Chain A
Amino acid sequence: MALSGLFLVVFLTQHFLINVTSVFSEDIFNKLSHFMGTNPLVQFVLQPILIFGVIFHFVMGFYLEILNAKSRKNNYSKFSGGSNSSWISRNMIFSGGVILVFLIIHFIDFWIPEMNYKYVEALPEDPNRYFEELVHKFESPLKTAIYSFSFIFLALHLLHGFSSSFKTVGVDSKYYNLIQKGTFLFSVIIPAGFVFIAIFHNLTA
């Protein structure tokens, strides 16, 4: 879980860095998207690894949840979880579930049309189509709201999961407090950035 989570954080970072260019340069965004969409290493090596990482993270998350539930077959009649731990740390499966639903919507919005364009209909590649496609998706206020709502849950998921993954892989050094602060900033800034991009394109479309 921790390793796949850290891997997905790396992917999320590169996804954000490419997307954020759409705010200030249509040309750079198109160039980067064209590179990512046509480079064989990205398409046929990194993309399958990413899909495997996503599926592995979700399957393991649900599997461990079921396994953990078996460790306490009889639940407490009164359980004050809020007195000793954060809500989000106890409900990662819930925030993860919301993100899973979001990912399905995201795949239907972007990935499936992209695969259809390139490999099913085999249309000629247009290096300038990406920006327009992106803006078109966020013309709908409802879609923008769904994306923004999902990124709030991504932020909550990251707020616990990112720093937690370091503990799981055994980071116990004196730099741990620094890591915690860094993961906190990442967990707030990156999802907020994605929300900003969605709202920006909705307002400027």
Chain B
Amino acid sequence: MKLYLKIWRQTNTDSNGSFQNYEIDEITPDMSFLEMMDVLNEKLIMEGIDPVAFDHDCREGICGSCSLFINGRAHGPDTGITTCQLHMRKFQDGDSIVIEPFRASSFPVIKDLVVDRKSFDRIQHAGGYISINTSGNTQDANTIPIRKEDADNAFDAATCIGCGACVATCKNASAMLFVSAKVSQFSYLPQGQVEAKDRVLNMVKQMDEEGFGNCTNTGACEVECPKGISIKNIARMNKEFLKAKL
């Protein structure tokens, strides 16, 4: 396959970025998208050009490192996957592909396609935890009766890998899906009840301080989330928040 790439290049956070065009040959349909990027970077290095910086780690859809906004969609033209799970069979020979970083004021570009998602970490630090002693004398979780439905919902929420696709795809750059997943994974369980009120208040406060937008329930985040986190979590978080406020 021969592809025409239009890639965002930016030296650092403070510099003005721009799109650069690249042509790439000999890409096979079985390559992953990130392997295609590797091939491009090898070519650029051979030509003495600075390779394109992009985030990646596990390359099996678990870590949430890879980002990229590909042809107008977070993680590319497929649903329920991360960029590392996207394969070149989704493209045709001769296609033009626009590759941009996740864009949000709370995700500043570090370099090229790499963005700083530490705002998510700070939201987690504000309340995404339970203060239970885990130093060897923890009660066996199986001794605490939990409804299967609640356990399933908590698990589903906990599958959020914090990749930021929800923010990237939301027209308002809202982080509500991420925050609601982190709130819900605890609020469904008895272990999470002790700090439930402070958790939701502090995490929402931190989210607002980070400058994320407001949720208008377009549902785009749910579609693009590689882990299929439901926007029902947002409604649940809103309920928790109102309860805590009142």
Contacts and interface: CB of A to CB of B under 8 A. Distances in A.
Contact of B242 (A70, A81, A160, A170): A170
Nearest to A88: B218
B234 A167 contact: yes
Contact of A78 (B72, B240, B243): B72
Contacts of A70: 105, 211, 213
Contacts, number: 111
B85 interface: no
Nearest to A70: B105
Nearest to A165: B217
A72 B234 contact: no
B100 A77 contact: yes
Interface in A54-68: 64, 67-68
Nearest to A168: B238
Contact of A80 (B72, B173, B238): B72
**In terms of DSSP, what is the predominant structure of the interface of chain B?**
mixed
A172 B100 contact: no
B217 A160 contact: yes
Contacts of B173: 68, 71-72
Contacts of B73: 80, 83-84
A160 B218 CA distance: 8
Contact of B69 (A64, A76, A172): A76
B77 to A, nearest CB: 8
Interface in B55-69: 69
Interface of B: 6, 19, 69, 71-73, 77, 79, 98, 100, 103-106, 169, 171-174, 211-220, 223-224, 231-232, 234-243
Given A89-B219, A160-B217, A170-B238, 10 more contacts: A64-B214, A67-B213, A71-B106, A71-B172, A77-B98, A83-B223, A85-B223, A86-B218, A89-B218, A167-B238
